[in-house]
Amino acid sequence: MNGSKRQLSLAQQTGFNEVTEKEVIELLVSHEKELSNEDLLELEEEQEAKESPCTFPTLTLAKLEIILESMRICSHFIFYLDPDGEHNFNFRNGLENLCSCYKDLHRQKKGQAKQAKVTDFFKPVPQPNEPSASSTSCALFRKKTISQILYQSLHLHS
């Protein structure tokens, strides 16, 4: 049995019944050819696409705010449409419980997005135990320089 017939037989034994001998020969011939740079790049891109994890859309702070606002609107609709106070109370409590995971996530993302103060980026000037005249004037010079920088940067951006 020659190589292509043997390959065809193996393919059919493993469940690839629609494979023809012509396709097996084409595949074997294609592997004998040297790959071009374009072929190599294409194979590399395919491999990277297979290896890279699927990305799912993430819940941004804006999307979470839309979700929470939609829940508030829904709660208000029920309050105005259903005159039964007990139903309203039960619905609101149930909705609050269901939305708690989104509220927690919203709090976390809001905390992460909180803008840092400009003073958070400055380190305090270490003060020696017994300040000498030169070290005191140096610290005063640094403070003045930092305040001047802050003043200038604030006026440049306004």
CA neighbor of 122 nearest in space, from 77, 153, 91: 153
Give the per-residue pLDDT at 153: 59
Give the per-residue pLDDT at 33: 72
Q: Which residues contact 35 (CB under 8 A, 6 or more apart)?
A: 43
Q: Does the predicted TM-score (pTM) go above 0.85?
A: no
Section 109-134 average pLDDT: 66
Tokens of residue 55, six digits = 């990305």
Percent of the chain with pLDDT over 70: 66
Report the largest interatomic distance among the alpha carbons of the chain, rounded to a whole angstrom: 99
Residue that wins the pLDDT comparison between 43 and 108? 108
Q: In whole numbers, what is the pLDDT of the chain averaged over residues?
A: 75
96 to each of 21, 71, 77, how far by Cα in Å? Answer: 65, 9, 15
Section 114-119 average pLDDT: 66
Q: Which residues contact 50 (CB under 8 A, 6 or more apart)?
A: none
Residue that wins the pLDDT comparison between 122 and 15? 15
Judged by DSSP in three states, 35 sits in coil
Q: Which region among 30-39, 56-65, 119-128, 147-156 has the lowest average model confidence (pLDDT)? A: 147-156
pLDDT band at residue 48 under the 50/70/90 scheme: confident
Give the per-residue pLDDT at 104: 92
Whether the per-residue pLDDT at 141 is higher than 50: the answer is no
pLDDT band at residue 119 under the 50/70/90 scheme: low
Q: Determine phi and psi for 69, rounding to 5 degrees.
A: -65, -40
Whether the per-residue pLDDT at 98 is higher than 80: the answer is yes
